[in-house]
A and B are shown apart, each in its own frame.
Chain A
Amino acid sequence: MDLRNTWDQWPDANGRFGEFGGRYVAETLMPLILDLEREYRAAKQDPAFKAEMDDLWTHYVGRPSPLYFAERLTEHFGGAKIYFKRDELNHTGAHKINNCLGQVLLARRMGKKRIIAETGAGQHGVATATICARFGLECVVFMGETDVERQKPNVFRMRLLGAKIVPVSSGTGTLKDAMNEALRDWVTNVDDTFYCIGTAAGPHPYPEMVRDFQSVIGREARAQILEREGRLPDAVMACIGGGSNAIGLFHPFIEDEGVRLIGVEAAGHGIETGEHAAALNGGKPGILHGNRTYLLQTDDGQIIDAHSISAGLDYPGIGPEHAFLRDAGRAEYLSCTDQEALDAFQLCTRLEGIIPALEPSHAIARVGEVAKELGKDGLLILNMCGRGDKDVFSVAKALGVDV
C-alpha cells in the first residue's frame, strides 16, 4: 500500500490507524461504543447536525478564530514568518470546547441525559460543564485528587456551571486515574450516560470523532493562510498531550505533502530523568484506555505516571493517530522541558502581549528552531490552543513569586 496517498483514509473499519487504535474495552462497553459509532456516522451525514454545530461555533464559541501574524516573535527569531492560530480566544479559553460541543450535540441526538468527562488541568471539564449548562444536561466530571488541589479555580468554575466534581483518589490521583474512574462510571450507568472524552484517544470511534470535531482548527487555518499569504505554510506546529489540538490542526494539511506536521511533547524534567510526559519520545507501544498506542510503561507493562508542569499534557499516552503518523514518518515529534516551556511562556507574553497557556508554551519553545531552519522565506502556523490565565499561579510558584 502506498501510504503517501492515503493519509486521509484512517482509521479503517476496525478503528485502526495502521497498528494503532482499536477497541480495547471491557465487554460491557462494547455494545455502547458500537452504538456510538453508528450514531456518529449518521450524525456526520446529517446536514441538520452540521448546521446546528456551525451556528453554535459562530455565535457561542466565537469561531472562526483569527490567524494572527506574530510579528515580534518572528523578528526575535529572525527566521520564518510565525502565525498563531488563536484558539485561545474561544469561549472558555481553549480549543477543548470545539470537541465538547460536537460530542454533547451527539449525546442529545442519542437521547442521553447525563454527561461524564475526565479532566486533568480542568479545561476539558470546564468546556464540558459549559456546554452542559447551555443545554441543561447533568454533568459529572472526574478529576484526580492531585489535580483538584492544583487547579482550584477551574474546580470552582465547574461547580458554578452546575457540574458535580468527583475527586479521584484511586491509583495516583491524576488524569489517567480520572479516565479509569470515568470508564468505571460508564460501565455502571450504561443506559443514560454519554462519556465525553477530552482528547483524540480512547476506544474507536473517539480518536476519529474528536479529530473530526477539532479539525475545524486546521480547516480554518488552511483557508486563512491561503488568503493572507497566497500559499500553504511550510510547517504547522502544536503541543501534544493526548494530541487533540495537534491532530485538529494537522489533519486538514495531512494530504499536503509539502507541509511539515510538528508536534511538541512535554519532556518534564527531561526525558533522561524518567519524569516526563513524552509518550512518543520516551515510551513504547502498549494498550491502555481502549486503544493501542505509545505509552509510558515499565518493562513489565505497568503504566508509569507522567510528569509535566502543564497539567493538560500530564498523561502517559497519546492519541493513536499520532503514533501512526510518527511511525509512518508523516509527522515529527519534538519535546520541551518544563523550564523551556516557562521561558517560552514569558517570552511570548512580553513580545506579543498574549499570555499563552503552559501547553502551547511547549510548542512556542521549539518554534524558534523550526523558524530558523525554514529561513526568512518560510511560513509556519503554531496553534495557540489555550490562554494562560489558568496558569498564572503555577507559573508564579515556579518563578518563586508570591502572588
Chain B
Amino acid sequence: MGRERIDAAFARAKSENRAALVTYMMAGDPSLEESFKALCALRDNGADIIELGAPFTDPMADGPAIQRAGLRALANGTKLTDVLALAARFRKDDQTTPLILMGYANPIHSMGYEAFAKAAAEAGIDGTIIVDLPPEEDAGLREIYGRLGLSVIRLATPTTDEARAAKVADGASGFIYFVAVTGVTGAGSADPAAIAGKVAMVRRVSGLPVCVGFGVKNGAQAAEMAKIADGVVVGSAFVEKAQDAHETGKFETAAPAMGHLAGELRRALAGVAKG
C-alpha cells in the first residue's frame, strides 16, 4: 500500500473539507502493550495518520518531552524490530490508517537499509520521516523505497527557501512535514500568519499536502494552524500523556488519555472549513 494509503487519507480529509489530523506517539512508552492500545485509541478518536516514533539514544532535534519518552522506551528494551512488530500487529486489523515511522538514521543504518525497508513494508509501514537524513544523504534508501512503494517524507522549515524546497520535494511523496518553528519538538508555538507564506510556497513547489507541526498542543492551536495547512501534526502533547501514565504508574491510563486528546483535536479541525 504505502504511499497510496497516505494519499487516500488526505483525500478523505479533503472530501470532508477539513485538515488531516496527524498524531505522533513513541513506540514502547509506557510499554509496547499500551502503545498498541494507544494506536487503536488514536485511530478510534479520529487520527487520520499516525507517526510512530522509534526511540534513539541521541535525538538531536527533539525537546525534553520526546527525549524522555525515547529514553523510557529504550529502558523498556524497545528495539527497532519491536516497533515494526507493533506496526504489524496494528496493520492486521486496520488497512486504512497510514503509519509513518519517525526516528533517526542510526538504528535504521545499523539494521541495513534494504533489510529495514523490506521489514517496514511487510509490517504495513507506509513511509518514514528520518530526521537526520536530508535529501543529500537518503539516495540509497530512496531507491529501495521506490521499489517497495514506501514514501520518503521530508521536512521543510522556516529556513527553507524556494530552491531548498525544490530539493526537499525531489523524491518525496505522501506529504511534506513543515516544522513551524526553528527549534526542537515541543518548543514554543508558531504564529500561523508568520508561516502561511512559506507553507503555501512549499505546497506549490512540492505539489504535495503540507502538514504543520512543532508547538501545536491543543484544539485551539490546531484549529488556527488548520487554516493554512493540509494537515496538523501534534506530538509532544501525546507523549506527555504517556509520561503522566508512567509517572503515576497507571500505564493503562495512557491510551484513553491520548484518545481523548485526539478526539478534542479532531473536533477542533472539523470546525475549520477549508477554502
Q: What residues make up the interface of A, taking CB atoms closer than 8 Å to B? A: 14, 22-28, 30-32, 170-171, 176-177, 180, 183-184, 187-190, 285-290, 292, 295, 297, 299-303
Contact indicator A301/B60 (Cβ below 8 Å) = no
Chain A minimum-CB-distance residue to B81: A300
Contact indicator A301/B131 (Cβ below 8 Å) = no
Binds A, one of B8-16, B85-93, B94-102, B155-163: B155-163
Give Cα A248 to B127, complex, Å. 42
Give the residue of A180, A187, A287 whose beta carbon is less than 8 angstroms from that of B182. A187
Contact indicator A286/B109 (Cβ below 8 Å) = yes
Cβ–Cβ < 8 Å partners of A300 in chain B: 79-81, 107, 110
- Other A-B pairs, 6, CB within 8 Å; known A171-B71, A287-B132, A302-B56: A31-B164, A32-B159, A184-B183, A287-B109, A302-B106, A303-B106
Give the residue of A31, A188, A287, A301 whose beta carbon is less than 8 angstroms from that of B160. A31
Q: How far is the CB of A62 from chain B (nearest CB, A)?
A: 36
Give Cα A184 to B65, complex, Å. 14
Quick one: given A31-B160, A187-B182, A288-B58, are A26 and B110 in contact (CB under 8 Å)?
no
Chain B minimum-CB-distance residue to A29: B159
Q: How far is the CB of A277 from chain B (nearest CB, A)?
A: 16
The 10 A-B pairs with the shortest beta carbon distances in the complex, nearest first, are A301-B110, A301-B107, A27-B155, A188-B183, A287-B105, A26-B61, A28-B157, A303-B57, A301-B106, A31-B159
Give Cα A153 to B197, complex, Å. 50
Q: How far is the CB of B120 from chain A (nearest CB, A)?
A: 15
Contact indicator A22/B137 (Cβ below 8 Å) = yes
Q: How far is the CB of B67 from chain A (nearest CB, A)?
A: 6
Contact indicator A299/B110 (Cβ below 8 Å) = yes
Contact indicator B134/A297 (Cβ below 8 Å) = no
Quick one: given A184-B61, A188-B183, A188-B184, are A27 and B107 in contact (CB under 8 Å)?
no
A171, A187, A286 — which one has the most chain B CB atoms within 10 A of its CB? A187
One digit per residue, 1 when the CB lies within 8 angstroms of any chain A CB and 0 when it does not, for chain B 206-227 equals 0000000000000000000000
Contact indicator B74/A26 (Cβ below 8 Å) = no
Residues of B136-170 at the interface with A, using a CB-CB cut-off of 8 Å, are 136-137, 154-161, 164, 168
Give the residue of A26, A171, A287, A299 whose beta carbon is less than 8 angstroms from that of B155. A26
Contact indicator B107/A25 (Cβ below 8 Å) = no
Contact indicator A180/B60 (Cβ below 8 Å) = yes
Give Cα A187 to B214, complex, Å. 13
Cβ–Cβ < 8 Å partners of A297 in chain B: 106, 110
Q: How far is the CB of B208 from chain A (nearest CB, A)?
A: 15
Chain A minimum-CB-distance residue to B177: A27
Give Cα A137 to B133, complex, Å. 33
Give Cα A336 to B59, complex, Å. 31
Residues of B164-187 at the interface with A, using a CB-CB cut-off of 8 Å, are 164, 168, 179, 182-184, 187
Q: How far is the CB of A189 from chain B (nearest CB, A)?
A: 8
Q: How far is the CB of A398 from chain B (nearest CB, A)?
A: 28
Q: How far is the CB of B115 from chain A (nearest CB, A)?
A: 12
A22, A188, A290, A302 — which one has the most chain B CB atoms within 10 A of its CB? A302
A22, A27, A288 — which one has the most chain B CB atoms within 10 A of its CB? A27
Give Cα A302 to B108, complex, Å. 10
Cβ–Cβ < 8 Å partners of B110 in chain A: 286, 297, 299-301
Contact indicator B179/A27 (Cβ below 8 Å) = yes
Give the residue of B111, B155, B158, B184 whose beta carbon is less than 8 angstroms from that of A301. B111
Cβ–Cβ < 8 Å partners of B57 in chain A: 171, 302-303
Give Cα A189 to B61, complex, Å. 13
Q: How far is the CB of A314 from chain B (nearest CB, A)?
A: 15
Contact indicator B61/A303 (Cβ below 8 Å) = no
Give the residue of B58, B132, B168 whose beta carbon is less than 8 angstroms from that of A171. B58
Cβ–Cβ < 8 Å partners of B136 in chain A: 14, 22-23, 30
Contact indicator A290/B64 (Cβ below 8 Å) = no
Cβ–Cβ < 8 Å partners of A303 in chain B: 57-58, 106
Cβ–Cβ < 8 Å partners of B134 in chain A: 23-27, 30
Give Cα A302 to B105, complex, Å. 10
Give Cα A47 to B212, complex, Å. 45
Q: How far is the CB of B84 from chain A (nearest CB, A)?
A: 12
Chain B minimum-CB-distance residue to A191: B182
Q: How far is the CB of B164 from chain A (nearest CB, A)?
A: 6
Contact indicator B154/A286 (Cβ below 8 Å) = no
Quick one: given A24-B134, A27-B160, A300-B107, are A183 and B60 in contact (CB under 8 Å)?
yes
Contact indicator A27/B154 (Cβ below 8 Å) = yes
B59, B80, B107 — which one has the most chain A CB atoms within 10 A of its CB? B107
Contact indicator A302/B160 (Cβ below 8 Å) = no
Cβ–Cβ < 8 Å partners of A290 in chain B: 132
Give Cα A300 to B110, complex, Å. 7
Give Cα A275 to B143, complex, Å. 38
Quick one: given A297-B106, A300-B107, A301-B111, are A24 and B132 in contact (CB under 8 Å)?
yes
Cβ–Cβ < 8 Å partners of A292 in chain B: 109
Cβ–Cβ < 8 Å partners of B67 in chain A: 170-171
Cβ–Cβ < 8 Å partners of A289 in chain B: 58, 60
Q: How far is the CB of A57 from chain B (nearest CB, A)?
A: 33
Q: How far is the CB of A140 from chain B (nearest CB, A)?
A: 15
Q: How far is the CB of B215 from chain A (nearest CB, A)?
A: 12
